[in-house]
Amino acid sequence: WADLKPAERENDPAHLKTEILAKLAYAVGKDPVVANSSDWLTATILVVRDHIVDRWMASTRENYRAEKKRVYYLSLEFLIGRLFRDAMNNLELTSGITQALSELDVDIDFIRELEPDAALGNGGLGRLAACFMESMATVGVPAYGYGIRYDNGLFRQAIEDGAQVEYPENWLAFGDPWEFPRREAAYTIGFGGSVEVTKDWDGATTSSWKPQETVMATAYDTPVVGWRGEKVNTLRLWRARPTSPIKLDLFNSGDHMGALSESNRAKSISRVLYPADSSEAGQELRLRQEFFFTSASLQDILRRHLQQYDTLDNLADKVAVQMNDTHPALAVAELMRLLVDQHNLKWDEAWTKTQAVLSYTNHTLLPEALETWPVNLVERMLPRHMQIIYTINARLLTDVKTAGHSEEILEKVSLIDEHGGRRVRMGNLSFVGAHKVNGVAGLHSDLMKVTVFKELHQVFPDRITNKTNGVTPRRWLMQANPGLTQLLRDTIGDGFMDNTEKLRDLEPFAQNPAFRAKFAAVKLENKTRLAHLIHERTGVKVDPTAMFDIQVKRMHEYKRQHLNILETIALYNAIRANPHKNWAPRVKVFAGKAAASYWQAKSIIRLINDVGNVVNNDSAVRDLLKVVFIPNYNVSAAEVIMPAADLSEQISTAGLEASGTGNMKFGLSGALTIGTLDGANVEMLEHVGADNIKIFGMTAQEVEALRIKGYNPRATIEGIPALKEVLDGIASGIFSPSDKNRYAGLVDSLWNSDHFLVAADFEAYTAAQREMDALWHDQDAWMTKAVLNTARMGWFSSDRTIREYAQEIWNVPTV
């Protein structure tokens, strides 16, 4: 023991065993003889947490002592998943804990699956926030994530009779062993009421908001540990509580509901995550959530700053606030209110600070996803903020006019949309209040400049910048794909674990048959694991030696899961027509959730399941084709799915997928991508080279040109017999014999509008798929490309992304 280095000492199984037994007794209250698997998991998590806490306090203390600038990441979503394996891996305790548990007769792989996923996010935007939290700790950026501690995360998806059914996800049912409630960190959040104006002795006016309703925000902290455990940051999530206990007089007079309603109104703010990932929810409760967490976070930030420095003069030198999409856009008005009304700064001074502190990330160009709120709603809920927004707008419009811009530009940059009911444009508010605005991939950032923010970009040409997304290699390579990680270590050493660019050292091995065989063996092992999961969740048996062709992501028409399933049906028809051709056996895997009210997306899910039912039971296709939809796609499922893919489907209509991050996770594990020139696929092409990725279909420019010229889906479909046959087959009820009209809506919308250009890209997609078939028959060639994908994916680490934010937006150093 005395001879061990400190890191080895921490990882010593004998010691860890004692620690686990102590936790089991004194924190869980169980004797090892009667402890169940969940008890062991809780005890072990509490041990791991102890190992984090010392480092956490040291990090926090050091940041304070060195007066480091802090970064605050404001996000309504953090799609974290499980933390047990992540924390253990980053602390390098995996081997010690595995052995300690095994000596206690506990199977670590069994208990780690009992941890519920923290699914406090919908999809890409929320998962990006989680990757960023881990990378900020890894590269040594002192950071706090701020969000909401939802009682219910994203719904659990079940597939019943082929259709999606939503069930509540109560991830907190047995408590969360990672979190620390902070009773002392509590703030009052106001809603409604009126604004009082007082005149000072010198004629200046002071505004003061008198809210009609108040709610308490209380903090729950979760430590976020970086790679090798060196730095630990904090994820602070707010829970809504009533400010006053229930009204006893009402309660005692028998009006129990009346007494409780106020309390329920408060608590409902942190009750549930809104499950729409790109549709305007437009509901009052959503705006209450947005203000609730934004205000609590800013109050907390100013309190921390003043407590340390006792002045706001240096606020922008010590604080950077990143707004994840427009969901925290009210930060612009709330920070102004706090600085002007509460801390008595002059407007201009407050505005300079606000802009210097705030920056904004845009995640989508879809018009229906751009938030706007009715002016009368904002006025009623946040009267002082509405005044502030008006004042910002008046000054903005004056400046823009003075600079000589046209009326048209003025109308477009305005914070208020005057068409059809006045609405506050949250994108414009965020843009104007921020010193930097970024897109999440090169193409996306370029398109921002000519679409949503065209006029604002003309007026402020230096504000938009690009920060291409990335993913954390700890979760998406080391933890999700331990087999590949071990092979990489044996082949090129450990360097890639601290710097993923070193994966490039793998390039020469792509030409080495012995290495390729090992690479293929790891892939097969991962596919076997996925095959088990598929069997468990769908009852379908799939052959792990077939090509695993996978599309997993939120269900959305722009992502074009229907392009994939229509082409799959065409392939099915072709196999039946010509069963003895040299087909490449494929397993088509789909997974993803649809917003509950998004009928078209739900219809696509059902079609996939209906097609699977027919295809999987058709003896004529033998094992040449299987179609499966894995229910309840979440982070934990992704960790099994990504490493098992041969082919990654990234087939959105060009110009519509801001970045994509699944594309990078697949690529890291050596999947080949079939995709459009959209989002970060463009940069993946640049990195892996045109020989190692299959790009097909229209470019964003061609899409725009076609839309301008006028797209005729009917004529397009008529010109593609294979596609027409597929649509006619679906419409005639081949896949839904008990309900022949089931897909009338889906099929009609393709014939009549096809807004996402499925038919226009169908032939290019089919041709690309047949090329992949041919390549599959040459396994040496396929595996060479697969290895090169892993080797060249290093740039897509979120560590690189965070370093860019740190340098170019936050002005903080990294290590």
Q: Residues with catalytic annotation?
A: 363, 553-554, 559, 661, 665
Under rule CB under 6 A, residue 148 binds ligand 26M: no
Residue 509 CB, nearest distance to ligand 26M (Å)?
Answer: 30
Q: Which is nearer to ligand 26M, 286 or 305 (CB)?
A: 286
Under rule CB under 6 A, residue 354 binds ligand 26M: no
Question: What letter represents residue 132's amino acid?
Answer: F
Contact 365, 658 (CB under 8 A): yes
Nearest to 664 by CA among 646, 649, 679, 684: 684
Contact 170, 152 (CB under 8 A): yes
DSSP states of 74-124 as a string? Answer: E-S-EEEE--HHHHHHHTT-HHHHHHHHHHTT--HHHHHTTSPPEEES-SH
Q: Is 136 left (phi over 0), alpha (psi -120 to 50) or beta?
A: alpha
Residue 274 CB, nearest distance to ligand 26M (Å)?
Answer: 4
Under rule CB under 6 A, residue 322 binds ligand 26M: no
Question: How many helices and strands in the chain, by DSSP H and E?
Answer: 34, 24
CB-neighbour burial class of residue 671 (10 A; exposed 0-12, middle 13-18, buried 19+): buried
User: Which window, 48-56, 245-253, 280-288, 503-511, contacts ligand 26M (CB under 6 A)?
Assistant: 280-288
Under rule CB under 6 A, residue 658 binds ligand 26M: yes
Q: Which is nearer to ligand 26M, 84 or 132 (CB)?
A: 132
Distance of CA 252 to the CA centre of its chain: 47
Which DSSP symbol is given to 652? P
DSSP states of 564-591 as a string? Answer: HHHHHHHHHHHHHHSTTS-PPPEEEEEE
- Number of residues counted as binding ligand 26M (CB under 6 A): 23
Binding ligand 26M (rule: CB under 6 A), the pick from 59, 438, 526, 661 is 661
Residue 361 CB, nearest distance to ligand 26M (Å)?
Answer: 7
The angle formed by the CA atoms of residues 192, 371 and 470, to the nearest 5 degrees, is 125
Residue 131 CB, nearest distance to ligand 26M (Å)?
Answer: 9
Under rule CB under 6 A, residue 128 binds ligand 26M: yes
Under rule CB under 6 A, residue 664 binds ligand 26M: no
Under rule CB under 6 A, residue 594 binds ligand 26M: no
Nearest to 754 by CA among 721, 726, 716: 716
Under rule CB under 6 A, residue 47 binds ligand 26M: no
Under rule CB under 6 A, residue 124 binds ligand 26M: yes
The residue number whose beta carbon is nearest to ligand 26M equals: 124
User: Which window, 1-9, 182-190, 269-277, 570-578, contacts ligand 26M (CB under 6 A)?
Assistant: 269-277
Say which residues have a Cβ less than 8 Å from residue 348's Cβ, sequence separation at least 6.
none
Nearest to 717 by CA among 731, 704, 705: 731
Q: Which is nearer to ligand 26M, 286 or 380 (CB)?
A: 286
Neighbours of 283 (CB within 10 A): 12
Q: Which is nearer to ligand 26M, 128 or 758 (CB)?
A: 128
* 330-363: b (≥16 Cβ within 10 Å) or e: bbbbbbbbbbbbeeebeeeebbebbbbbbbbbbb
User: Which window, 111-119, 270-278, 499-507, 569-577, contacts ligand 26M (CB under 6 A)?
Assistant: 270-278
Q: Which is nearer to ligand 26M, 280 or 341 (CB)?
A: 280
Question: Could you tell me the two tokens for 370?
Answer: 């751009």
Q: Which is nearer to ligand 26M, 213 or 280 (CB)?
A: 280
Distance CA 116, CA 174 (A): 10
Residue 333 CB, nearest distance to ligand 26M (Å)?
Answer: 18
Under rule CB under 6 A, residue 142 binds ligand 26M: no
Under rule CB under 6 A, residue 369 binds ligand 26M: yes
Q: Are strands 625-629 and 319-324 parallel, antiparallel or unpaired?
A: unpaired
Distance CA 302, CA 226 (A): 26
Within positions 418 to 457, which residues make up the interface with ligand 26M, using CB under 6 A?
Answer: 440
Q: Are strands 319-324 and 358-361 parallel, antiparallel or unpaired?
A: parallel
Residue 598 CB, nearest distance to ligand 26M (Å)?
Answer: 12
Within positions 284 to 303, which residues make up the interface with ligand 26M, using CB under 6 A?
Answer: 286
Which DSSP symbol is given to 343? S
User: Which window, 191-199, 630-638, 658-666, 748-756, contacts ligand 26M (CB under 6 A)?
Assistant: 658-666
Under rule CB under 6 A, residue 125 binds ligand 26M: yes
User: Which window, 81-89, 100-108, 527-535, 651-659, contacts ligand 26M (CB under 6 A)?
Assistant: 651-659
User: Which window, 177-185, 274-282, 428-436, 721-729, contacts ligand 26M (CB under 6 A)?
Assistant: 274-282
Sign of CA dihedral 465, 425, 206, 284: negative
The angle formed by the CA atoms of residues 704, 707 and 709, to the nearest 5 degrees, is 110
Under rule CB under 6 A, residue 612 binds ligand 26M: no
Binding ligand 26M (rule: CB under 6 A), the pick from 11, 468, 648, 659 is 659
Under rule CB under 6 A, residue 557 binds ligand 26M: no
Give, for 13, the enclosing helix (H) or strand (E). helix 13-23
Q: Which is nearer to ligand 26M, 115 or 290 (CB)?
A: 290
Q: In what order do the strands lie in the sheet with 423-425?
A: 372-374, 423-425, 416-417
Under rule CB under 6 A, residue 395 binds ligand 26M: no
Under rule CB under 6 A, residue 550 binds ligand 26M: no
Q: Which is nearer to ligand 26M, 87 or 276 (CB)?
A: 276
Under rule CB under 6 A, residue 675 binds ligand 26M: no
SS3 359: strand
Distance CA 313, CA 194 (A): 30
Under rule CB under 6 A, residue 277 binds ligand 26M: yes
Q: Which is nearer to ligand 26M, 260 or 369 (CB)?
A: 369
Q: Which is nearer to ligand 26M, 434 or 440 (CB)?
A: 440
Binding ligand 26M (rule: CB under 6 A), the pick from 363, 423, 527, 742 is 363
User: Which window, 271-279, 296-304, 730-738, 768-776, contacts ligand 26M (CB under 6 A)?
Assistant: 271-279
Under rule CB under 6 A, residue 469 binds ligand 26M: yes
Question: Could you tell me the two tokens for 322?
Answer: 């990143």
Binding ligand 26M (rule: CB under 6 A), the pick from 59, 75, 278, 669 is 278
Under rule CB under 6 A, residue 766 binds ligand 26M: no
Under rule CB under 6 A, residue 123 binds ligand 26M: yes
- Judged by the rule CB under 6 A, the positions of this chain that interact with ligand 26M are 122-125, 128, 274, 276-278, 280-281, 286, 363-364, 369, 440, 469, 657-661, 679
